[in-house]
Structure 1
Amino acid sequence: MKLITTLFISLFLITQVQAQDSAEVIMNKAMQKAQKEKKNILLKYGASWCTWCKKMDQKIKSTTCKSLFEKNYVIVNLTVFEPSRNKHLENSGASELLEKQNGTTAGLPFWVILDNKGKVLEDCFNSSNQNLGCPKAPSEIQQFIDKIKRTSKLSQKELDMITAEFKRRH
């Protein structure tokens, strides 16, 4: 009986610590969806410990912004830089993709906007080559909005709504 209980608990724990889908699988699905829906891809890198990653997710998923982003982008989240106890949360291959996009030392969140074939259209670097991350200061928000404007079909009114949400303090 102890053996059966031990096996059951072991199987339960193994299923709870399954590896995440690889970055390659996720990106292939995203590109297929983006091509089908004629959208670009908003690819965000984050980690479970990253407060600013969570803030950016909250802004994008807010009542104000969610439909606007989803109407214009296939949104993809890849997990990187987890501590050893949370390595199972990482997407294999995400760190290598982040490196190709010059984000390894930029900090999190790191994001890029890709076309539906995976080509970088915009990245999160500001005019001083610093990571905008989750934009907070008015100048950061404006640079973020400029990048969104160039890669979406959002109207000025919709861009203003996104601007207001990112300026709002939570």
Structure 2
Amino acid sequence: MSSRRLIASVVIGMALLAEPIALADPLPAEAVLAAAAKAGKPGKKNILVVFHASWCGWCRKLEAVLSAPAAKEILERHFERAGLTVLERGEKEALENAGAEELLASIAGKDAGLPFTAVFDRKSRRAIATSNTSGPGTNIGFPGRADELDHFVGMLRKGAPRMTAAEAETIRSAFPAAR
């Protein structure tokens, strides 16, 4: 009797494992921003948003820099971070956050390229600063030149007025040497 139960349990377990696991749909952009705003409220932190895509190599490089221990510690002290997936192709379109492309377009990032970075006010959810240097089409993407890095760090400081010069320099030094 017990061997029959064991066999039945194994068969049922294997059948359950054979079922495809349904992945949850990505949250809409507004829900991502709302969650970040709520999480940032106690520390009065604004929201640092990186618009990215699975195919974007520069997006992965930026994420690696922002996740480096020294930079991450400072960013977590001053911001709630949020990533929004946009501009996916084919089967990967399901990875996109609904409303993220519209949000990107509303801050002059529609045709700017990726990664696109913006700091949003946690209360109004309006952009305080973006990775556009002087209007639409001037996105720095991954800051690789000294002027791009200056803009990126300036954008962070604008969104986090309590960030010290030393903290800004630590973030700057997390990037590969700017040309």
Q: Same fold (TM over 0.5)?
A: yes
Report the residue type matching 1:121 in the other structure.
I
**SS of 2:55 mapped into structure 1:** coil
Instruction: Give runs of ≥4 in structure 1 deviating > 3 Å.
Output: 7-11
Q: Give unmatched runs, 5+ long, in structure 1.
A: none
Deviations 1:48-101 (A, max 9, x none): 000111111001000220000010000000001111121121111111111111
Partner in structure 2 of residue 41 of structure 1: 47
Deviation, structure 1 residue 46: 0.3
Name the structure, 1 or 2, with higher relative contact order (CA <8 Å, separation 6+).
Answer: 1
2:108–2:135 CA contact under 8 A, matched in 1: no
- Superposed, 1:5-154 pairs within 5 Å as 11-13=19-21, 15-16=22-23, 18-117=24-123, 118-127=125-134, 130-152=138-160, 153-154=162-163
Distance 1:119 1:161, change over 3 A: same
1:79–1:91 CA contact under 8 A, matched in 2: yes
- How many residue pairs get matched? 163
Greater C-alpha Rg: 2
Two-structure CA RMSD over aligned residues (Å) = 2.1
Deviation, structure 1 residue 29: 0.9
1:138–1:167 CA contact under 8 A, matched in 2: no
Distance 1:98 1:9 in 2: 39
Distance 1:116 1:83, change over 3 A: same
